[in-house]
Amino acid sequence: MELEFIQWLRAHAPDDPRAKLGLSDDAALLSFGDKTNIVVTTDLLTDGVDFELGKHEPKRVGRQALAANLSDLAAMAARPHSALISLALPRGGGANRGALELAIALYEGIEPLAVEYDVVIAGGDTNTYDGPLVLSVTAIGQITERGPLTRTGGKAGDWLLVTGALGGSILGHMLDFAPRVHEAMLLHERYELHAGIDISDGLALDASRLAKASRCGALLYTDRVPVSSAAIRLSELDRADDIEASALRHALSDGQDFELLIAAGPQTAATILQERPLECAITQVGELVAEPGLWQHSMQGQRKPLEEIGWRHA
């Protein structure tokens, strides 16, 4: 549904130099007269879709809501500045807890993360109603003198690098992940990156998005994708026949990894891989190619299509 609505919006929303990239990238770049260095992004999370209040502690849910927005700022290599937190709280709160207690519990996850990433909570709107918990977070960041990192600057031949390990986020990473803010800023400052995106809907789908925005295709080296231990554990829990194949599928398609996918020229990318400037892992998972589409190598070393598997928003 969301994709169709965005298409409808693109056809209906007039272009405006005061806000760019909003419908096509991870955050919108705002322009105020002479200054153009503010980015803004927003995420709305609902009980039953993004988390389950019956299962997940409110503290972790609150943290997740802010972290997802910080990941969008990271995708633009922006420095987090402030955030607004709006809540629609179930009247009565639920789970032996009043609405006020729920709001405070959510905030107890939000605040430490805000402090850790130097984000000021600038405001919000708190409401009770007859419905499930909804959190809406807007995060504001500043881009550096390098400008924003966007999805559009990739070139055929660029290497695709990914931070961390992928898949199985549902086992806990989706709530407890560290948004790659510092990693994105460091890479963007120290190296000439061409394009970037955060992996929120699965490597295959987000690599495909980055490639499309850069008017290229993407070839993924499926044998080099860093598969997380959670992806393997999930495959074991699934009692998959082929654990390795199942874990790779999780790594390619699971949502909410919130790792960074970066495109850079081969020389720059090789330097990054050699220098390993991050505390987390960084791995080459593919390259951008001239031919549109998403590709993998066949056993014979030829290209064959790779399905754009991933988390499709309802």
Residue ranges in contact with a copy of itself by CB under 8 A:
1-2, 4-6, 8-9, 12-14, 16, 18-19, 22-23, 27-28, 30, 32-33, 35, 37-38, 40-44, 46-49, 81-82, 84, 86-89, 91, 98-100, 103-104, 107, 111, 115, 120-132, 134, 136, 138, 140, 142, 313-314
Q: Name the pairing type of β-strands 159-163 and 282-289.
A: antiparallel
What radius of gyration, in Å, describes the C-alpha atoms of the chain? 20
Q: Do 162 and 156 meet the contact criterion of CB atoms below 8 Å apart?
A: no
* CB closer to a copy of itself, 246 vs 256: 256
* CB closer to a copy of itself, 299 vs 314: 314
Work out how close the CB of 91 gets to a copy of itself at its nearest, in angstroms, rounded to a whole number: 7
Q: Do 259 and 163 meet the contact criterion of CB atoms below 8 Å apart?
A: yes
The greatest distance separating any two alpha carbons of the chain, rounded to the nearest whole angstrom, comes to 61
* CB closer to a copy of itself, 121 vs 278: 121
* CB closer to a copy of itself, 28 vs 113: 28
* CB closer to a copy of itself, 1 vs 299: 1
Residue 14's contacts (CB-CB under 8 Å, 6 or more residues apart) are: none
Work out how close the CB of 29 gets to a copy of itself at its nearest, in angstroms, rounded to a whole number: 9
* CB closer to a copy of itself, 79 vs 250: 79
Work out how close the CB of 147 gets to a copy of itself at its nearest, in angstroms, rounded to a whole number: 16
Work out how close the CB of 309 gets to a copy of itself at its nearest, in angstroms, rounded to a whole number: 21
| ∠ Cα 122 124 129 (to 5°) | 170
Q: Is 42 helix (H, G, I), strand (E, B) or coil?
A: strand
Work out how close the CB of 75 gets to a copy of itself at its nearest, in angstroms, rounded to a whole number: 13
Work out how close the CB of 41 gets to a copy of itself at its nearest, in angstroms, rounded to a whole number: 7
Q: Is 67 helix (H, G, I), strand (E, B) or coil?
A: helix
* Four-residue CA torsion sign, 225, 230, 232, 235: negative
Question: Exposed, middle or buried by CB within 10 Å (0-12, 13-18, 19+), for 198?
Answer: buried
